[in-house]
């Protein structure tokens, strides 16, 4: 177990100096038999404390649901400026922006299916994976750990932005990146919506049912959150009402 044998070739004491006992015990359970959240944890709408340090807990492990628009606003503004300034041409910029929104669907799907639901083997990998996504499955209604915290946002943003710069070049990368930023904000807010609102019908109810089936029925399908497009393309689609 993590809190007994050590996860990162570190003695028990080091882990306990960084993480709370409650968190390490929860990780241990997931390392053994991952699955739907316990009934008790499902009711813990505030989740649990992860880090012993109050500073790290507050500023590096949580994010207000409004964080996505605050972080991506400057990116969107820069992409709009590039489009209006003629960099890459107006129509090329608009197409690049639209392509960026579409590309987000693939980024979202790839991250969720192949990184967030990656199957870790070593204790250290399991600790990392639980912090990355397992926590959300165990405490799905924790509002402050639903959107990406700033550190995670900047790491992923830097990676995606670098790829875009290499692929689309200096003239269009910012416009495509701005489109992806819009897609990301839509994804985060739809994700929040599916967990914390209760629509009675229409697309909202469909998306909520589709995503919660991923949480509580089958974690091996329905990876799309803002759209089922990639689930349909890559064979992981299951209808919300499928048994």
pLDDT per residue rounded down to tens, the chain (243 residues) = 555 444 444 445 788 889 999 998 888 887 776 566 666 776 677 889 999 999 999 888 899 989 999 999 999 898 888 888 878 888 889 899 999 999 999 999 999 999 999 888 888 888 888 999 989 988 988 999 998 888 888 999 999 999 999 999 999 999 999 999 999 999 999 999 999 999 999 999 999 999 999 998 899 999 999 999 999 999 999 999 887
The position carrying tokens 């710069």 is 165
The reply to whether 120 falls in a domain is yes
Cβ atoms of residues 75 and 104 within 8 Å: no
**What does the chain come to in residues?**
243
The reply to whether 41 falls in a domain is no
Q: Say what the pLDDT of residue 31 is.
A: 74
The reply to whether 127 falls in a domain is yes
Q: At what angle do helices 202-216 and 150-196 cross, to 10 degrees?
A: 110
Query: Domain range spanning residue 99?
Result: 61-234
The reply to whether 220 falls in a domain is yes
The reply to whether 129 falls in a domain is yes
The 3-state DSSP class for residue 6 equals coil
Cβ atoms of residues 209 and 96 within 8 Å: no
Cβ atoms of residues 238 and 221 within 8 Å: yes
The reply to whether 37 falls in a domain is no
Extended strands (E) in the chain: none
pTM of the predicted model, to two decimals? Answer: 0.87
Q: Say what the pLDDT of residue 162 is.
A: 95
The reply to whether 199 falls in a domain is yes
Extended strands (E) in 65-115: none
The number of domains in the chain is 1
Q: Say what the pLDDT of residue 5 is.
A: 45
The reply to whether 53 falls in a domain is no
């Amino acid at each position: 177990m993590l809190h007994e044998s050590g996860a990162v070739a570190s003695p028990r004491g080091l882990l306990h100096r960084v993480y709370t006992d409650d968190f390490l015990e929860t990780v241990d359970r997931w390392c053994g038999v991952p699955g739907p959240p316990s009934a008790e944890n499902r009711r813990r709408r505030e989740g649990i404390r992860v880090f012993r340090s109050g500073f790290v807990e507050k500023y590096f492990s949580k994010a207000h649901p409004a964080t996505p628009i605050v972080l991506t606003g400057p990116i969107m503004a820069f992409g709009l400026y590039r489009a209006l300034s003629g960099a890459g041409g107006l129509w090329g910029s608009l197409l690049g922006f639209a392509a960026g929104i579409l590309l987000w669907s693939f980024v979202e799907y790839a991250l969720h299916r192949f990184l967030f639901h990656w199957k870790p083997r070593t204790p250290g990998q399991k600790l990392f994976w639980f912090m990355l996504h397992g926590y959300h499955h165990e405490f799905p209604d924790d509002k402050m750990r639903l959107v990406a915290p700033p550190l995670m946002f900047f790491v992923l943003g830097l990676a995606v932005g670098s790829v875009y710069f290499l692929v689309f070049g200096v003239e269009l990368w910012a416009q495509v990146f701005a489109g992806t930023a819009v897609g990301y904000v839509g994804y985060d807010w739809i994700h929040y919506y599916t967990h914390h609102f209760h629509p009675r019908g229409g697309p909202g109810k469909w998306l909520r049912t589709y995503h919660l089936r991923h949480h509580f029925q089958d974690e091996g399908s329905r990876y799309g959150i803002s759209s089922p497009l990639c689930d349909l393309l890559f064979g992981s689609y299951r209808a919300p009402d499928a048994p």
